[in-house]
Amino acid sequence: EDQVTQSPEALRLQEGESSSLNCSYTVSGLRGLFWYRQDPGKGPEFLFTLYSAGEEKEKERLKATLTKKESFLHITAPKPEDSATYLCAVRSNDYKLSFGAGTTVTVRA
């Protein structure tokens, strides 16, 4: 069964203080690693898909990277609007995503 572990559970940052979130995974044949952002009371919003080790994707202040065992989501010079829960998920078959518990990021002005 696919397993996804995210750390830390919570991260408090000062505005402009860069940091990284970790997603470790165990899967029988990775067919995609996904990052989502979730605001309180809302559904997850898609950010990135990574397919192979060494791949990187960027969007504004966010950059996702992938190795054979883990993925990192780097937040560069975060702003308060980057406060959210960031979810990591893996796909090992044609359709289903298995999610981690998420990292809740709070950015203070």
Partner 1 sequence: DTGVSQNPRHKITKRGQNVTFRCDPISEHNRLYWYRQTLGQGPEFLTYFQNEAQLEKSRLLSDRFSAERPKGSFSTLEIQRTEQGDSAMYLCASSLPSGEQTRPNTGELFFGEGSRLTVL
Rounded least distance, CB 20 to partner 1, Å: 19
- Cα separation, 71 vs 62, in Å, equals 13
Token pair belonging to 95: 């359709």
The C-alpha atoms of residue 89 and residue 99 are separated, in whole angstroms, by: 4
The footprint of partner 1 (CB under 8 A) covers 4, 6, 31-32, 34, 36, 41-46, 48-49, 57, 87, 89, 91, 94-102
Please state the closest distance from residue 68 (CB atom) to partner 1, in A. Answer: 19
Residue number, 48 or 65, with CB nearest to partner 1: 48
DSSP string, 41-59: TS--EEEEEE-STT-EEEE
Min CB(5)–partner 1 separation in Å: 11
